[in-house]
């Protein structure tokens, strides 16, 4: 059974997916993780949510493209750890969902 914070996170992910109309569940999870200060880098997000780092990197790449919701701040060439933040579109989406 999920605890309250996990349930809130999942509800936020669902709301982000509904509001955007184009976010995948993983993409919405990454945006939610940023908005809720859960993770702002790919390795931490992958570890905390039990997702393969390669999948997280691929989704961050999609989210960082034009009309995406994040801005990539830094990449470690050795570990591929990627640090990212919400861009203006991501901030608007989060505000819209949070009301």
Name the average pLDDT for the chain. 94
Whether 43 has a pLDDT exceeding 60, the answer reads yes
User: Structure pTM?
Assistant: 0.93
Segment 47-79, tens digit of pLDDT: 999 999 999 999 999 999 988 999 999 999 999
What is the 3-state secondary structure of the chain? CCCHHHHHHHHHHHHHHHHHCCCCHHHHHHHHHHHCCCCCEHHHHHHHHCCCHHHHHHHHHHHCCCCCCEEEEEECCCCCCEEEEECHHHHHHHHHHHC
Cα-based torsion angle of the residue sequence 6, 16, 76, 51 in order, rounded to the nearest 10 degrees = 50
Q: Residue 41, Cβ neighbours under 10 Å: how many?
A: 19
CATH T-level fold of 4-98: Arc Repressor Mutant, subunit A (1.10.10)
């Amino acid at each position: 059974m999920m605890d309250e914070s996990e349930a809130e996170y999942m509800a936020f992910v669902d709301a982000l997916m509904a509001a955007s109309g184009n976010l995948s569940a993983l993409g919405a999870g990454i945006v939610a993780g940023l908005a809720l200060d859960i993770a702002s880098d790919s390795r931490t997000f992958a570890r905390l949510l039990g997702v393969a780092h390669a999948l997280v990197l691929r989704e961050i790449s999609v989210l960082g493209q034009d009309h995406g919701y994040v801005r990539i701040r830094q990449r470690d060439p050795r570990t591929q750890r990627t640090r990212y933040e919400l861009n203006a579109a991501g901030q608007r989406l989060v505000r819209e969902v949070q009301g």
